[in-house]
Chain A
Amino acid sequence: MSPTLTRIGAVARKEFIHVRRDPRLLAVVLVMPIMQLLLFAYAISFDVRNLPTLVVDLDHTPDSTAYVRAYEASGLFEVTSRADSLAAVDGAFDRNEARVAVVVPAGFARSLARGEAAEVGILLDGSEPNSARIAQTYAAALNQLESRQIAVTWAATQGIDLTQSGSVEPRLRTWYNPERASSIFLVPGLMVVVIMIVTAQQTAVTLVREREQGTAEQLLVSPLRRVELMVGKLTPWVLMAFLDLVVIAVLGLFLFHIPLRGSVLALGIGAALFVASCLGIGLIVSAVAPSLDTANMAAFLVAFLPAFLLSGFAFALDQVPAVIEWISRVFPARYMVTISRGVFLKGAGLDQLWPEVAALAAYALVTLVLAARLNGRRA
């Protein structure tokens, strides 16, 4: 065996011993990801159902009643209160009694009867943007559908056969996740977030600990090269992160019934590079952090927050400001979220995902070299 491999092997073996001798660490590495997965998957839900809805029907006609009923029938809106004036909307929003208000103005039925466009007011409580966005989409679709039916009814009364003229009924379909169950959308992203948090946090303290124990100095006074130290330290964590990943994926498949449609190879390669990138970030933190506390805090900041906010896990990256989108490219999570969702949900393989895989490969390499350079500097 070459001296380099011997030295890397010695470091890796030593790291394994550290983990084995520290039951708390073992728990953190093997149990925490599962806890986080379950916690987040059940706690964070972007499912929008039964939005409390206030109806202000100023028209009081059978047409307006039918229109309002369409909202109730959708399942998305739940009419919780009714009022007779617009002024009631503010109060209902303030008291959180309603998130949506549907206002049918007087003259609604008359406009329809004349064949004119009837105006309807939909008011959304924008303080919860996610629900509001979905409510908006639904309401728009509903209106389109409704107006078409109204038009049909109207045409029928005028003796024109619209169905014969090939009128199409609009239908909203969500691809890849037809039930729009947020867990299916979330779990592939959540895996990425959980892995990033666990791995970056662990390597962030490893070099600091060597310095605090004085062993870093002993390593410096040895033929061990800096990159060898990094690779050796990384090896056990790559294996453990992979184990985490498999456990989480299995949980996702069987507990949350997420599909696995694409290339497992692409997922594996992407995951390995992603884990290496996260560990590299941790090592960079570790190389520059002056104390264990600082390292923990810094790792939290550079792993947890970007993983949650800038990965596309929770917020679609094509809907954030350009600057934020640009910043998100600096963190590896977004690439892996794309790969993970691509493989699990869209059935993608390496031929579609190679740009993300390449980005992660470059990322892993750069972080490792940077960590090595930052670490062993002689003072």
Chain B
Amino acid sequence: MSSPATAPPAVRTSGLTRRFGAVLAVDGVDLTVERGAVFGLLGPDGAGKSTLLRLLATVLRPSAGEAQVFGHSTEREAQEITGRIGYMSQRFAMYPDLTVAENLDFFATVRGVPKTQRATRATALLEGMGLGEFRGRQARHLSGGMKQKLMLATTLMHEPDLLLLDEPTTGVDPVSRREFWRVLAGLHRAGTTVLVATPYMDEAERCTSIAFLDGGRIRQTGTPAEVAALVPGTLVEVVCPDPRAAVAALADLPEAGSPHVLGDVVRVLWRGPAADAEGALAAHLAAAGMPSAQVRAARVDMETAFAVLAEAGR
């Protein structure tokens, strides 16, 4: 709990719970997002990421517990919140028959952006995202990446203090994704708090903090490095001519956790002492008829951390 003198964090939830009938989508989530953070919300499909964001965006009411955005209750003081946040839903939520410029102008007007600023901001945002030449195009005729950028631009027109982004780059080509994150980095530097749900692990590594969500609960939270450190064991890669055979051969080695093929190598989470990994694995594979197998240490990336932690949570 912060003292009354300090400003409340961008987001604070306690015991936040949301049910849909018998399904517990969000289950007692305690989460704090500090101002200025780029906070990544990770988790498999159905983990409750979207529901959590919708609760924070005041779109949904909590079934139990509480959520505060900038110190205001999402349930009782939604009017205090909606003007300060930008919520970008997972699906395209613009008027398909309105042009890019009309969509921007409509939502900005409704959100109280003065007329004098609407045009300049729209131009700046569209130019900045490479949408300048598409101003007059109806939203339905935009490509997937352009649609996402339009949504982001619309969300940014009223210069929100907190951005809630629900899988903003899903279905977007890699170049557009990079541009998208470049825009977010700029916002981060300008002091905007960003809470982004994403299934892409490389994006998680761009965040200042992340939380793993699974089954509606937060399993781990911290900086990307802290979360990577939570992965139990040592990650090693085995290079061999036949990775599938190696995976099969490692199934009866108890210390070789979750062996799986990644590209042309086999990844193993070594549960024994780290120093033993190389020797034990090579010996086991040699015994299984793969004497040429080479073992080397690997860095725990977010993808692996996510997979391992999600598996451990089940």
Do A378 and B59 touch across chains, with their CB atoms under 8 A apart?
Answer: yes
Residue pair A213, B93 in contact (C-beta under 8 Å): yes
| In the complex, A7 has a CB within 8 A of chain B | yes
Given the known inter-chain contacts A17-B97, A222-B111, please indicate yes or no for A217 contacting B106, CB distance below 8 A: no
Complex Cα gap A11–B109 (Å): 9
Is A21 an interface residue when CB atoms closer than 8 A count as contact?
yes
Contact among A13, A219, A220, A224 for B58, CB-based, below 8 A: A220
> B95 contacts A213, CB within 8 Å?
yes
B96 part of interface (Cβ distance < 8 Å): yes
- When the two chains form their complex, are residues A221 and B85 in contact, meaning their CB atoms are under 8 A apart? yes
Q: Secondary structure at chain A's binding surface: helix, strand, loop or mixed?
A: helix
B110 to A224, Cβ gap below 8 A?
A: yes
A243 is an interface residue with CB less than 8 A from chain B? no
For the complex, count residues of B whose C-beta is within 8 A of A: 30
Contacts A215-B95, A378-B58, A379-B60 given; does A223 touch B110 at CB 8 Å: yes
Chain B CB within 8 A of A121 CB: no
- Is A246 among interface residues, defined by CB-CB distance under 8 A? no
| Set of chain B residues within 8 Å of A221, measured between Cβ atoms | 57-59, 82, 85, 87
Q: Are A214 and B89 in contact (CB under 8 A)?
A: yes
Residues from chain B with Cβ under 8 Å of A217 in the complex: 54, 57, 59, 87, 89, 93
Interface positions, chain B 52-89, Cβ under 8 Å from A, are: 54, 57-61, 78-79, 82-83, 85, 87, 89
Q: Which residue of A lies closest to B97 (CB)?
A: A21
Closest to B102 in A: A17
- Interchain nearest-CB distance for A14 vs B (Å): 5
Residues of A within 8 A of B96 (CB): 213
A321 part of interface (Cβ distance < 8 Å): no
How far is B96's CA from A28's CA once the two chains are assembled, in angstroms?
21
In the assembled complex, which residues on chain A have CB atoms less than 8 Å from the CB atom of B111?
A: 222-223
Chain A nearest CB from B243 CB (Å) reads 43
- Indicate whether B112 reaches chain A with its CB closer than 8 angstroms: yes
Cβ of B141 under 8 Å from chain A: no
Interface range on chain A (Cβ under 8 Å from partner) = 20 to 34
Given A214-B91, A214-B92, A223–B82 Cβ distance below 8 Å? yes
Report the nearest B residue to A210, measured CB to CB.
B95
Q: State whether the Cβ of A155 lies closer than 8 Å to any Cβ in chain B.
A: no
B98: Cβ under 8 A from any A Cβ:
yes
List the A side residues contacting B93 at CB < 8 Å: 213-215, 217-218
B134 within 8 Å of A (CB atoms) = no
- Taken residue by residue from 213 to 238, chain A's Cβ proximity to chain B (1 for < 8 Å, 0 otherwise) reads as 11101111111100000000000000
How long is the Cα–Cα vector from A223 to B138 in the complex, in angstroms?
A: 25
B79:A223 contact, CB within 8 angstroms: yes
Residue B180 at the chain A interface, CB threshold 8 Å: no
Is the C-beta of B187 less than 8 angstroms from some C-beta in chain A? no
CB distance from B101 to the nearest CB of A (A): 11
Q: Smallest CB-CB separation from A6: which chain B residue?
A: B109
- Is A10 among interface residues, defined by CB-CB distance under 8 A? yes
Chain B residue contacts of A166, Cβ below 8 A: none
Contacting B at CB under 8 A, from A48-93, are none
Mark out the residues of chain B between 116 and 160 whose CB falls within 8 Å of any chain A CB in the assembled complex.
138, 154
Shortest beta-carbon distance from B26 to chain A in Å: 13
B58→A222 contact, CB < 8 A: no
Smallest beta-carbon distance A227→chain B, Å: 14
| Chain B residues within 8 Å of A9, by CB | 109
Q: Is A18 an interface residue (CB 8 A)?
A: yes
Given A214-B92, A215-B95, A222–B61 Cβ distance below 8 Å? no
The residues of B that contact A11 with a CB separation of less than 8 Å are 110
Q: How far is the CA of A9 from the CA of B96 in the complex (A)?
A: 20
**A378, B87: Cβ atoms under 8 Å?**
no
- Mark A1-44 against chain B: 1 for CB-CB distance below 8 A, else 0: 00100110111011001100110000000000000000000000
- B94 in contact (CB, < 8 A): yes
- Give the contacts of A321-379 with B (CB-CB under 8 A): 378-379
What distance in Å separates the Cβ of A236 from its nearest Cβ neighbour in chain B? 14
Question: With A14-B95, A213-B96, A223-B79 in contact, do A218 and B107 touch (Cβ < 8 Å)?
Answer: yes
Report A256-307 residues with CB < 8 Å from chain B CB: none
Given contacts A14-B98, A215-B95, 17 further A-B contacts (CB under 8 A): A9-B109, A10-B110, A18-B95, A21-B138, A22-B97, A213-B94, A217-B89, A218-B87, A218-B107, A218-B154, A221-B59, A221-B85, A222-B110, A222-B111, A223-B112, A378-B58, A379-B60
A sample of 15 cross-chain residue pairs with beta-carbon separation below 8 angstroms, ordered by A number, consists of A6-B109, A6-B112, A7-B112, A10-B106, A13-B106, A14-B106, A17-B97, A17-B98, A18-B95, A21-B97, A22-B97, A213-B93, A215-B94, A217-B59, A223-B79
What are the nearest 7 A-B pairs in CB distance? A214-B93, A10-B109, A21-B97, A221-B87, A224-B110, A222-B110, A222-B111
